[in-house]
Structure 1
């Protein structure tokens, strides 16, 4: 039996769909009944409602230890996808609680219940900091604690430390570090959160662009890589999952083209985003609104990051779907 945490999120929902399509028996963790409808609507999007009925749902919360006692009953493999994603500094405590303590709880139950293998979904934000002599980030790039990192990045790095602790105590583990994950979602989902907000923002008419770049990957590639790694003999390794390293302008233009809307024409200079995040801070404090642009995000919009997925290619010979095809599929369902 396979357990999936974060079963109602983007990666978790797609993962369950692919697992069941491949004949797996899946137990899916959920916190409330309403959230199950998210996963159900994704199955409906792909006309797989009949497969949805095969999911065994179990209520629990990774930060509520007593609720997990029954969840891990007869579980052989665990995909840990549950996480809080936020770049609002006010969410620091929640990020550490859910992402670090929650992962520690999952690891502890895996050890106590003799789970055979655990796959953890991390992030490229938890990877190391490039030294001046290195141009591209890979799995061996060292984390520099003296450099500034977002609270989200710190929480994912801390979660990885819990995974490695589990491995030292005898648990077989594998970590994946996806880039920005892109995938189609139903209209009933909140399209203003997560990576899908990029699509929504462009669809509404984005005026400005920045010159930064980062790694992108389709959600289907993420879950297929996870499944292959879990079936392999791989243990104690991490893998970057990035299809292409692309400028934000290229991604935005692709989205605009597929959605048939006008692309942005005005470049947002660094001084403009620096002013914008300060104004966002003021507005959030005056009106108690959630932060939409932080200092860390503003900096990243101008940073040209590159990531290597050569390790995954060497070991699995995996070929990622081109990002243009991923965006085209998203546009078809938008």
Structure 2
């Protein structure tokens, strides 16, 4: 997400969530499942592992998107304090077929366009259908007042972009974006966007996040829903690439 989208993100993720919580309270909704993000947990030390006990800390690496999701969660916990039964799920980067001009689906567009840069940073990824299945499972389970991280696997950004590129039969990224080069790359992409009128493929925030290594622990949800399993990331990517190539209409 670009910093230029800040106002819209804050309105949707904070005010929008507050409105949902208020309506749920007014209408005596039995249970509210809030789909948040691991971004709402804040950043951790480079190379650290994040679980459900992670507390938000101020950091220069906390993006505007993270801030909006964190404050959105605060509205949900406020609802719990007012008597609402809530459960929060925190998906990592969601992988799946969708509008590749928006959200994490842009990973597929970048790979299809043979974006040349890669980084060795690490983060978590999860299949979009797994997020839906886990959410439904929690609706039907006896859960309340807690959160669950939804993360399939922890991969390097290089591994993700290379796997997607191969799924499209495109050239994988071949230029390592070191910290210095990443700072140059996002500026070049921003300059390019001024001439093309299109959003840059790399923002300042995404360039800096791409240099970090964060691992997400998924054991809580696996223990809570014994029948639930995460889809292997390679399988998720292959399915999404196939749908893009076959021109399956967006739902």
Could you state the TM-score of these two structures normalised by the residue count of structure 2? 0.89
C-alpha displacement of 1:252: 1.6
Out of 238, 248, 251, which is 2:157 matched to? 248
Q: Which residue of 1 aligns with 2:23?
A: 109
Who wins on radius of gyration, i.e. which is larger? 1
The reply on whether 1:331 has 2:241 as its aligned counterpart is: yes
Cα 1:282–1:254, aligned 2, differ >3 Å: closer, same or farther? closer
Q: Which residue of 1 aligns with 2:68?
A: 155
Out of 283, 290, 302, which is 2:211 matched to? 302
State how 1:1-334 maps to structure 2 within 5 Å.
Answer: 87-130=1-44, 135-145=48-58, 147-185=60-98, 190-281=99-190, 290=199, 292-317=201-226, 318-334=228-244
C-alpha displacement of 1:184: 2.1
C-alpha displacement of 1:146: 5.1
Q: Can you give the 5+ residue segments of structure 1 that lack an aligned partner in the other structure?
A: 1-86
Q: Which residue of 2 aligns with 1:12?
A: none
Measure the CA separation in 1 of the matches of 2:173 and 2:185.
Answer: 17
C-alpha displacement of 1:285: 7.0
Cα 1:287–1:251, aligned 2, differ >3 Å: closer, same or farther? closer
Cα 1:158–1:201, aligned 2, differ >3 Å: closer, same or farther? same
Measure the CA separation in 2 of the matches of 1:251 and 1:237.
Answer: 30
Q: Can you give the 5+ residue segments of structure 2 that lack an aligned partner in the other structure?
A: 245-251
Measure the CA separation in 2 of the matches of 1:135 and 1:201.
Answer: 27
Instruction: Give the secondary-structure state (helix, strand or coil) at the position aligned to 1:246.
Output: strand
C-alpha displacement of 1:90: 2.8
Kept after mapping to 2: 8 A contact 1:180/1:217: yes
Relative contact order higher in (CA < 8 Å, ≥ 6 apart): 2
Cα 1:202–1:282, aligned 2, differ >3 Å: closer, same or farther? closer
RMSD of equivalent CA atoms: 2.1
Kept after mapping to 2: 8 A contact 1:88/1:292: no
C-alpha displacement of 1:147: 4.6
Cα 1:291–1:199, aligned 2, differ >3 Å: closer, same or farther? closer
C-alpha displacement of 1:109: 0.6
Cα 1:283–1:331, aligned 2, differ >3 Å: closer, same or farther? closer
Aligned residue pairs total: 243
C-alpha displacement of 1:272: 1.3
Judge which range, 256-265 or 166-175, deviates more.
Answer: 256-265
